[in-house]
Amino acid sequence: MTSTAAELLEVLWGRASTAPASASQLRVLLILEHHEGINLRTLADSLASTPPSTSRLCDRLQAAGFVERVVSAADRREVQLHLSGRGRAFLADLRIRREQTLRAVLDQMPAAKRVALLQGLEAFCDAAAARIHDDADDAEDSAASGSRTA
Sign of CA dihedral 122, 127, 128, 134: positive
Is 97's pLDDT higher than 60?
A: yes
What is the CB neighbour count within 10 angstroms for residue 109?
12
**Do 75 and 120 meet the contact criterion of CB atoms below 8 Å apart?**
no
What's the maximum distance between 2 C-alpha atoms anywhere in the chain?
Answer: 59
Of 12-16, 123-127, 143-147, minimum mean pLDDT range: 143-147
Q: Looking at the predicted structure, is the pLDDT value of residue 21 above 80?
A: no
Q: Is the whole model's pTM more than 0.95, yes or no?
A: no
- pLDDT band, very low/low/confident/very high, at 2 (cuts 50, 70, 90): confident
Cα–Cα dist 62/40, whole Å: 13
pLDDT at 141: 64
Assess whether pLDDT exceeds 90 at residue 55.
Answer: yes
Average pLDDT, the chain: 85
- Reference 34, options 85, 86, 83, 92; nearest CA is 83
The confidence score (pLDDT) of residue 122 equals 92
Angle at 131 between CA 34 and CA 84, to 5 degrees: 10
Would the pLDDT of 28 be above 80? yes
pLDDT range class, residue 144, cuts 50, 70, 90: low
pLDDT of residue 48 exceeding 60, the answer is: yes
* Three-class secondary structure of residue 83 per DSSP: strand
Percent of the chain with pLDDT over 70: 87
